[in-house]
Structure 1
Amino acid sequence: MVRCMKNIFISLSSSTLYSQSSSVSPQGHLSNSSWWSSSERSILSSLVQSPQVDIQNNSEVLSPENVFDPYRVRGKLSWADIGNYALATEVSWMSVGKKQLEYASGALKKFRTLVEQLAKLNPIHLSCNEKLAFWINLYNALIMHAYLAYGVPRSDLKLFSLMQKAAYTVGGHSFSAAAIEYAILKMKPPLHRPQIALLLALHKLKVSGEQRKCAVDAHEPLVAFALSCGMYSSPAVRVYTAENVREELEEAQHDFIRASVGVSSRGKLLVPKLVHCFAKSFVDDSNLAVWISHYLPPNQAAFVEQCISQRRQSLLASRNCGIMPFDSRFRYLFFPGKA
């Protein structure tokens, strides 16, 4: 199902078939705020306090060229090597021309056949790892299907409404996207998206006892790097397998941190809010850079330590990290061979 949806999305975004008059750009933007505060901009304007990073002498770590950087933000320097994310296919708009719609129509018929097969499956009898892989894959496929069916939501309230409305029948029970994420996969309210967390607190999800028997045994924090809401700050979509789901989740975490974490032109560590909120369960902010370095290649980790060391000698010693808010513009990333 995930592979089928991936092919549909890529087909609808094919640049070779793109024309300005026959395209739609699903720029659902749920929150749009600059991550530079006015005080931050004032402080960072001082070159005396925080000298510029020398890109030329660090060309093995930083890229001087405009390479593909899926989590680029203002002021962020790109790594010369971002790992697996360098191979990702990006879908940030979709065309609705005749050729694309003809392909999507046929592919959606095949997809609906797969959806119908779900009614015959009883997830209660799946093993722990089978449940984990199954529900992750199903969630990602369901969100993509919902965006095609209902369009991209323009606010967190509409997104939450869509997550409650979009559902598949599995083993005779209807499971919404919201129920899968928070009741079946037992994910905690997303601190990196406070509006969704608030809506969860105000709206109790209705899940029957029979449905809860289909849930995973315990909360797995790494699932945060596997679920994609099709937004700019979301992780890439890949297919998870029951045989290797734990290893694949660890790989997803490593890949996301390596691609999304960066440094500013003045040596400040830039961390996505998703990663920052995840790390809070393990370390405090003073040790955040050290924790992140464990997930970076040795040369990048050494460069981060070098930048922080230089900042400690400046007047900005207490401002070594910048937290980048969740960017909710529409965008999907797909790995070749992994989805």
Structure 2
Amino acid sequence: MVVDVHSSVSRLPLMDGSDHSELSGNLSVSDENQSKLSDSESPCSVSSSVSSFDSEKTEDPIYHDSKRSSGELRVLEPHSQLPKPEPPPGISISSAGEPPYKRSQSLAENISVDMPSIGKFIRERSNSLSVAIFKRISSLRDENVDTDDNGKSQTGVTEIKLSGLKVIVKLKSDEDKNRELKGRISFFSRSNCRDCKAVRSFLNEKGLRFVEINVDVFPQREKELMKRTGSSSVPQIFFNEKLFGGLVALNSLRNSGEFDRRINDMLSNKCPDEAPATPVYGFDDPEEESPDGLLEIVKFLRSRLPIQDRLIKMKIVKNCFSGSDMVEALIQRLDCGRPKAVEIGKQMAQKLFIHHVFGENEFEDGYHFYRFLEHGSCISWCFNFRGSVNDNEPMPAAMVAQRLAKIMSAILESYASNDFQHVDYLAVSNSEEFRRYINLTQELHRVNLMALSHNEKLAFFLNMYNAMVIHGLIRFGRVEGVIDRKSFFSDFQYLVGGQPYSLIAIKNGILRGNRRPPYSFAKPFSSGDKRAELAFREVNPLIHFGLCSGTKSSPRVRFFSPQGVDAELRCAAREFFQAGGVEVDLDKRTVLLTGIIKWFGVDFGNEKEILRWIMKFLDGNKAGLLTHLLGDGGPVNIAYQNYNWSMNSC
């Protein structure tokens, strides 16, 4: 039960004898405060009892100039910073025994709430406010803190206690202040370098700020590295402009205990301009562009061909042109015969400038219809397409894949946890490495994927999947719910080799040999889809432990090399299973497996085959328990872990 008591108090005399001040606020009496009222009092509203105030006013100092709101009088509380007010005369008898003011004749005598009780409540509330203010001020200084002669605190931590809040301010110690060095630590590195990782970890543990220059991300800086050191080996550490050395020199200085002194000596001066420059965001290295040899002809055809929507085979086909129109335009432009024009058209199709609207042929003269690559139905939705196709001479697919993998590895080393289980997506999105990665993905538009070997193709699509997941999570953020996840994996696409590739197309179409995704009735690639030519004929179940979907239950994100992709996949599976991907309960004769095996069980075989296959990736303890279960002839139950779809962000 809650009772609102409305009264009015204005121009109250303050304790310090200053001018009267109007105190504002509302008084609410709850069940826990109801005991403060006398037993004879019934909790009710006094609004109706004081309605006579509207018709009569007195010169009584208590009720003079009182404020009314909707016929109800409000009790005005003091501001929190004002001194504690005395109870108004007439509401309660003072401690000196002075008689109260006589009540106004307009106030009903049968009022149901005892006014002295209200005064008592106001006094108690005022006291609590004063005590709270006193405690808040006094808490700014701890009584137990040692002070010097000037009264200054000598502790390194100041503790402030507030109601419901505890704030601890850690002051900088002398050691921390010494870390505010004027100089700069820089070191040259490469992606996937163990020595570079050791240097990075050591500097982070010491709390030292440093500038890392990864020559795989900034290839033009490799010339500077060789000029400064006479070698391309990494890591190479610089204190300001002076070369310190590599990991061996760092370990030697650390083991001798001279590291801190040497740091202070070498970095006590401001970093000069001769030191290795910090990489700047938004500036690309100058590179020689090599336009495609057919680019001039392509530009001419883009401006001259009658590109329009047509009705073909009972379908509306947008932005297409006929083969005969293209041949005529080439004859006019090059002043050549028809066979020569058809040959040039085939070259344009092979270089992925154009393609048949239904993928039926490469290029033929006559009543066949084609499109430019940028006019494809799904191309504009690809997230590595910026309105125009990359018209430069295509780089070899293996070279593009290698450069992309090195940049993404550098991103993980800088913006992921040490075990790569968690990624700081916000930091990645703002990094120069990611900006360069986005620019490099445009090199994928017209690469020739058919030239990749088996291992190169496997590493390429594994890396492409993991990189697209990072890009997609940065673009869309947290993906929640079944519908959003399905949209994410099917709609986020890259233009690669003239074709759009989604995450589903890469995983189920290419890596799983065009098999149906879980809970789906259709294959990713239909008959006649050119992407099906790249699909693997046999499924390697290890791929499931090399693909990271950006969730906490998926394998950690990693990038593979064509030379060691098989060994790296086995290592990925071993890490996943030993980190909790499988649990064995001997008492219940139950094996708890990851949900990945449940969804893609067809890739692993039947239950017994799955358990025998998993055994070679387990540690000795779990492998022994599983061997015992499979060897005693008893039943073995298989259950599946709950999958955590939460984002693997830091």
Fold-level similarity (TM above 0.5): yes
Matching of residue 262 in structure 1 with residue 588 in structure 2: no
Residue in structure 1 matching 2:572, options 248, 252, 259: 252
Partners of 1:332 and 1:215 lie apart in 2 by: 32
Look up the equivalent residue of 1:270 and give its one-letter code.
L
Contact 1:146 1:166 in 2 (8 A): yes
Contact 1:236 1:332 in 2 (8 A): no
- Tell me how far 1:276 sits from its aligned partner: 5.3
- Tell me how far 1:154 sits from its aligned partner: 0.9
In structure 2, the residue matched to 1:154 is: 480
Residue in structure 2 matching 1:110, options 423, 427, 436: 436
Alignment of structure 1 residues 8-157 onto 2, 5 Å:
8=411, 88-91=419-422, 94=424, 96=426, 100=427, 104-157=430-483
Contact 1:231 1:328 in 2 (8 A): yes
Contact 1:91 1:331 in 2 (8 A): yes
Contact 2:516 2:522 in 1 (8 A): no
Deviations 1:250-281 (A, max 9, x none): 33223322222224595653222324566666
In structure 1, the residue matched to 2:504 is: 178
Contact 1:254 1:295 in 2 (8 A): yes
The TM-score with structure 2 as length reference comes to 0.33
Deviations 1:195-214 (A, max 9, x none): xx22x326865686333333
Cα distance change, pair 210–154 in 1 and its aligned pair in 2 (3 A): same
Cα distance change, pair 187–248 in 1 and its aligned pair in 2 (3 A): farther
SS at match of 1:213: helix
Question: How many residues get paired?
Answer: 243
Cα distance change, pair 207–139 in 1 and its aligned pair in 2 (3 A): farther
Larger relative contact order (CA 8 Å, sep ≥ 6):
1
Cα distance change, pair 159–276 in 1 and its aligned pair in 2 (3 A): closer
Greater radius of gyration (CA): 2
Matching of residue 325 in structure 1 with residue 642 in structure 2: yes
Cα distance change, pair 236–189 in 1 and its aligned pair in 2 (3 A): farther
Look up the equivalent residue of 1:130 and give its one-letter code.
E
Partners of 2:470 and 2:527 lie apart in 1 by: 22
- Tell me how far 1:119 sits from its aligned partner: 2.0
Unaligned runs of 5+ in 1: 15-86, 191-196, 334-339
Contact 2:577 2:617 in 1 (8 A): yes
In structure 2, the residue matched to 1:55 is: none
Unaligned runs of 5+ in 2: 1-403
Which moved further from structure 2: 203-212 or 220-229? 203-212
Q: Compare the two structures and name the one with the higher helix fraction.
A: 1
Residue in structure 2 matching 1:214, options 534, 548, 568: 534
The TM-score with structure 1 as length reference comes to 0.59
Partners of 2:649 and 2:609 lie apart in 1 by: 31
In structure 2, the residue matched to 1:48 is: none
Look up the equivalent residue of 1:114 and give its one-letter code.
L
Residue in structure 1 matching 2:555, options 217, 232, 235: 235
Residue in structure 2 matching 1:167, options 465, 488, 493: 493
Cα distance change, pair 279–292 in 1 and its aligned pair in 2 (3 A): farther
Partners of 1:151 and 1:280 lie apart in 2 by: 31
- Tell me how far 1:8 sits from its aligned partner: 4.8
- Tell me how far 1:229 sits from its aligned partner: 0.8
SS at match of 1:180: helix
Deviations 1:268-323 (A, max 9, x none): 532223245666666644676555333223343224556x59xx89xxx7565432
In structure 2, the residue matched to 1:66 is: none
In structure 2, the residue matched to 1:38 is: none
